[in-house]
Structure 1
């Protein structure tokens, strides 16, 4: 039985039959080939990077901290996109048309939306968790996984809250104008569809972005304020590293997801055909590229993961921590308070029975303890 899908694009209504691999109007064979190459690259790189993250988690116990569990959740959701989403759009681009029918299109649209929103929400939760950690100025309890599991479960439930309604009548999933990918039916002008798209844009794209900007903005402010009072070269390097990471995080978020959201809104509220299939496929590819970008930014810029990655390449059993210091010497903790916030510092006490105690100038060692938020 032939399944016929009706869809509207800038050329009007066209039918796409199951097994019909012809290019839909407005998308050339050359464009399909280029999209297939890009999706193939994203599929291979995304699967490789995220699988490597999972391998590091399995092999090295040092990275299994509560906050890194949120990073693991991001990698799992990105890997699921690579396994259950990208291969079908890649095959459709190679053949020039959708291959697995209407029900397969709904399944594809639901899965990609679910995994994508899980990744976005997890990124915002990660930023807020780092913000709370730096704000409290205290060490994280590495044995307490309760909050991490709440964040992980919460991200999946929140994503399900916004991705299941199209399956039950509030909007719907269908083919995009390119004919090779499926998502929410952006082009429908009905009140039912428009209300869902507005809510999806606000609560699943704008809200996570605002939370990230708020959290990382305050982290930079707090760290800059603390490091400004302690003129240490190491601290300055950490501050510069933080600024670079924050810039990369927010820039990559905007680069991968904001074009998709904006094009979707233009398609929903603009004139029919204002976004051509060729232009419309670009934001979809950028959104899928986040499966490659996230591991590089959020995982391999993390020193713990990087050391374990190098150890894995060298086929060694344990990573070498060059920054680890032995603080078991006798020390006196001193609270330096400033505007209600404290920085833990330690002043080394020289032994009285040593020869150095009679010298005029005694050496003072200051070790600043603060959270490594990376």
Structure 2
């Protein structure tokens, strides 16, 4: 009964230690969030710096990749670090204004990140499925996708600042997010629209794009135009990469979105604060693996990033293995007897 009552408290009571976790529990959370935040900051800064330093990396897709790094960097700095501090203290010590600012910042950068992932999925779909140039993903398209990501996120995260919806403490009460629990009509209308436009739409775009991409790869395999077995090997390699990307997205965001949707649908549903914290931190962990999956699997980027980190030494310099993205485009282009102008990089 005590945890239920605390769950309904407003963030105005955030300065009171709710004791939802033991001192050890809060310390463990602080260490975990701190590690993810610091690693996320380092990786995403590396992505931005290396891309700026090397002209060869400034391709249309790089706009989306760098934008993803900026979004994740924002989440780590404005969400991860403050949450590390509040977990270390055992309660939310930033007050009502701090709750609103943190909730807005994390939501703003987080939704922009989701939208950017959707842009990347569309780019990969276009490059692989339209290698003949009927549809080209150019710099202006990448820039438009980046701008749209920020505008879309800003439009749907600012209403709580003006009274439509709100930001409240979540989980073990050491971080803030959109208020999924209030049954107020205005708040409910905002949350339903927010869930649909900021979670369901990006997720649908990602799933449709990657499904079409895999279907295209399957069709190419049936043509059997490459050397014996090579096309099947390529399909397996690229399918594995795509599965990793989609699974990473699902692991990070689907539990959080599902929990929010369940609370919206069933007002009487009670989720233990400790259990509710798990999806929150899974979503925030995307700041670390996003740069790894979307960028460090890119052989060209790695060839610049590794020497930058190791002061000029690249242990993979002699690696001649073609990246999955290059192999995909080359195979599809070969099957259609056109020049492989597209690239996943």
Q: CA deviation at 1:371?
A: 3.2
Partner of 2:106: 112
Partner of 1:371: 342
Q: CA deviation at 1:49?
A: 1.1
The runs of 5 or more residues in structure 2 that have no matched partner are: 323-331
CA contact (8 A) 1:133 1:140 kept: no
From the CA coordinates, give the structure whose radius of gyration is larger: 1
CA contact (8 A) 1:23 1:29 kept: no
Q: Is 1:265 aligned with 2:236?
A: no
Partner of 2:146: 152
Partner of 2:225: 230
Q: Is 1:343 aligned with 2:339?
A: no
CA contact (8 A) 2:220 2:335 kept: no
Q: Is 1:274 aligned with 2:276?
A: no
Q: 2:163 aligns with which of 161, 165, 169?
A: 169
Superposed, 1:252-331 pairs within 5 Å as 252-272=248-268, 274-316=270-312, 322=320
Q: 2:21 aligns with which of 24, 27, 33?
A: 27
CA contact (8 A) 1:93 1:180 kept: yes
The runs of 5 or more residues in structure 1 that have no matched partner are: 1-7, 325-336, 346-367
Give the superposed CA RMSD: 3.0
- 1:114 is paired with a residue whose SS is helix
Higher helix share: 2
**Separation in 2, partners of 1:288, 1:114:** 13
Partner of 2:41: 47
Number of equivalences? 330
Q: Normalising by the residue count of structure 2, what TM-score does the alignment of the two structures yield?
A: 0.86
Superposed, 1:37-116 pairs within 5 Å as 37-116=31-110
Choose 270-279 or 200-209, whichever is displaced more. 270-279
Higher strand share: 1
**Separation in 2, partners of 1:48, 1:155:** 23
**Separation in 1, partners of 2:189, 2:10:** 27
Q: CA deviation at 1:143?
A: 11
- 2:197 is paired with a residue whose SS is helix
Greater RCO structure (CA 8 Å; 6+ sep): 2
Distance 1:161 1:43, change over 3 A: same
- 2:177 is paired with a residue whose SS is strand
- 1:85 is paired with a residue whose SS is helix
**Separation in 1, partners of 2:64, 2:70:** 10
Q: Deviations over 1:67-121 (max 9, x none)?
A: 1210110001100111122111110000011122111111100110000001100
**Separation in 2, partners of 1:31, 1:268:** 28
CA contact (8 A) 2:306 2:313 kept: no
CA contact (8 A) 1:118 1:159 kept: yes
Distance 1:223 1:14, change over 3 A: closer
**Separation in 2, partners of 1:286, 1:225:** 35
**Separation in 2, partners of 1:180, 1:204:** 23
Choose 240-249 or 267-276, whichever is displaced more. 267-276
**Separation in 2, partners of 1:201, 1:95:** 31
Q: Normalising by the residue count of structure 1, what TM-score does the alignment of the two structures yield?
A: 0.80
CA contact (8 A) 2:181 2:264 kept: yes
